[in-house]
């Protein structure tokens, strides 16, 4: 016989944990199913670019105080294109914000959320638990799971998929559309000759954008877009050759590149799920949309998915959780933000990652116009910080 709970969250990463924490005073029973062992996220060295809006969510959850000392603020964003005219520089103080964003390791964020979940008693978390099947029906949803030598099933008013790695091909009525960009992101951490002064650099080249995000006192988190063959070559170079190649590609604005660590590469794509709900089922985070990292929007949109879903649930009576009206309200709350983030990110990739005749001049004119027209710059900065609804 299936165990019955109000909410089952599949995936205990930052997005799923944010949802569970945001529901801690809702009166709803929440169970989180996580395939990884407890504490495994502590070894995940990926770097995240958190928006100011994401910081506010983490503050409301009581998590940010433990993270603030580990997060590097972004005070300035410098946007340019290599070898061409046109640039724009955004300053947090001009927007009346403490920062335009923050750079933080995935491990630090996951650990802080896990501790807060445990201390607050917001949810029951089952680690080493894999979801084998999911059923969405008019009356309820069910998950069938296994792990730690046992298996079982749960019936829930609402199942939330926050696991970006799960295949959704077996869910009727949901379709995933994937656009491969034909590029890879080469990531790592570099140290430089000059202090970063809390400046993040976004430089567009015909091969794709390269971003340097301030990390720690003198380091940068690197995201270098390259075609798959070039990415493989870059990952195979020794450190000295890689750093010299990066200097030639990016320039000397931060002085010499001194060290590189944690090099890795992964393919870039745009993947969207339509629709993101089914009876008694909602899909959030990377499971709902996977974006190119050029604008740093994907992870932040996922956190806002979790927060807005929690607000929708808190405004819904228990008997209506997972019902058509509740799910329609959630979709309406997220439509503008997710749609705007997807469009903006895809536009940047298409407009700034090629060298078609005349396009470089148009890009330069656009960046110059953005720099000169204060309301336009303020609009872009606010949308990057708080999403399309900000």
Structure tokens at 73: 């603020």
What average pLDDT score do residues 37-50 get?
86
Q: Is 271 helix (H, G, I), strand (E, B) or coil?
A: strand
The secondary structure of 120-140, three-state, reads HCCCEEECCCEEEEEEECCCC
pLDDT band with cut points at 50, 70 and 90 for residue 269? very high
H or E stretch covering 305: helix 298-314
What average pLDDT score do residues 227-249 get?
96
When computed from its CA atoms, the radius of gyration of the chain, rounded to whole angstroms, is: 21
Q: How far is CA 147 from CA 8, 37, 97, 127, in A?
A: 16, 11, 45, 8
Provide the whole-model pTM.
Answer: 0.94
Q: With beta carbons less than 8 A apart as the criterion, state whether 157 and 142 touch.
A: no
Task: Evaluate if residue 117 carries a pLDDT over 80.
Answer: yes
What average pLDDT score do residues 219-238 get?
96
pLDDT band with cut points at 50, 70 and 90 for residue 382? confident
Query: What pLDDT was estimated at residue 167?
Result: 57
In percent, how much of the chain has pLDDT > 70? Answer: 96
Q: With beta carbons less than 8 A apart as the criterion, state whether 76 and 198 touch.
A: yes
Report pLDDT digits (tens) over 189-201: 999 999 999 999 9
C-alpha span between 160 and 25 (Å, rounded): 18
Q: With beta carbons less than 8 A apart as the criterion, state whether 348 and 363 touch.
A: no
Structure tokens at 88: 């724009």
Task: Evaluate if residue 236 carries a pLDDT over 70.
Answer: yes
Rounded to 5°, the CA angle 25-29-32 comes to: 105
Rounded to 5°, the CA angle 113-114-115 comes to: 90
**Which residue carries 């008694």 as its tokens?**
280
Query: What pLDDT was estimated at residue 247?
Result: 94
Query: What pLDDT was estimated at residue 93?
Result: 93
Q: How far is CA 255 from CA 206, 235, 295, in A?
A: 23, 22, 24
What are the structural domains of the chain?
Answer: 3-177+270-386 (3.50.50.60), 182-266 (3.30.9.10)
Task: Evaluate if residue 156 carries a pLDDT over 90.
Answer: yes
Task: Evaluate if residue 390 carries a pLDDT over 70.
Answer: no
Report pLDDT digits (tens) over 161-178: 997 656 566 677 888 899
What average pLDDT score do residues 40-49 get?
85
Greatest Cα pair distance in the chain? 67
Query: What pLDDT was estimated at residue 43?
Result: 77
The pLDDT mean for the chain works out to 91
């Amino acid at each position: 016989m299936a165990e019955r709970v109000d909410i089952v969250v599949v995936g205990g990463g930052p997005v799923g944990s944010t949802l569970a924490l945001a529901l801690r005073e809702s009166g709803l029973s929440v169970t989180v199913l996580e395939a990884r062992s407890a504490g495994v996220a502590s070894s995940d060295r990926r770097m995240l670019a958190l928006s100011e809006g994401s910081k506010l969510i983490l503050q409301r959850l009581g998590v940010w105080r433990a993270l603030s000392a580990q997060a590097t603020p972004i005070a300035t964003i410098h946007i340019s294109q290599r070898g061409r005219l046109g640039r724009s520089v955004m300053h947090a103080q001009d927007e009346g914000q403490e920062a335009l964003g923050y750079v933080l390791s995935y491990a630090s964020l996951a650990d802080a959320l896990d501790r807060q979940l445990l201390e607050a008693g917001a949810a029951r978390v089952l680690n080493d638990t894999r979801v084998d099947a999911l059923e969405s029906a008019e009356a309820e949803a069910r998950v069938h799971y296994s792990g730690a030598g046992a298996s079982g099933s749960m019936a829930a008013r609402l199942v939330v998929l926050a696991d970006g790695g799960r295949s959704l091909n077996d869910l009727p009525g949901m379709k995933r559309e994937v656009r491969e960009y034909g590029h890879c992101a080469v990531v790592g951490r570099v140290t430089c000759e000059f202090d970063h002064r809390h400046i993040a650099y976004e430089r567009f080249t015909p091969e794709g954008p390269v971003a340097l995000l301030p990390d720690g006192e003198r380091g940068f988190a690197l995201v270098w877009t390259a075609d798959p063959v070039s990415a493989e070559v870059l990952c195979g170079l020794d450190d000295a050759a890689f750093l010299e190649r990066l200097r030639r590609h990016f320039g000397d604005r931060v002085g010499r590149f001194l060290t590189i660590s944690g090099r890795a590469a992964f393919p870039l794509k745009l993947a969207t799920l339509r629709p993101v709900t089914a009876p008694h089922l909602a899909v959030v985070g990377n499971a709902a949309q996977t974006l190119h990292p050029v604008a740093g929007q994907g992870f932040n949109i996922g956190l806002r998915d979790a927060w807005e879903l929690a607000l929708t649930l808190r405004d819904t009576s228990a008997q209506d959780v997972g019902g058509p009206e509740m799910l329609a309200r959630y979709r309406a709350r997220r439509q503008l933000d997710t749609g705007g983030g997807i469009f903006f990110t895809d536009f940047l990739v298409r407009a700034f990652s090629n060298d078609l005749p005349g396009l470089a001049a148009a890009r330069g004119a656009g960046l110059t116009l953005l720099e000169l027209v204060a309301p336009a710059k303020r609009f872009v900065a606010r949308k990057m910080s708080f999403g399309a609804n900000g």
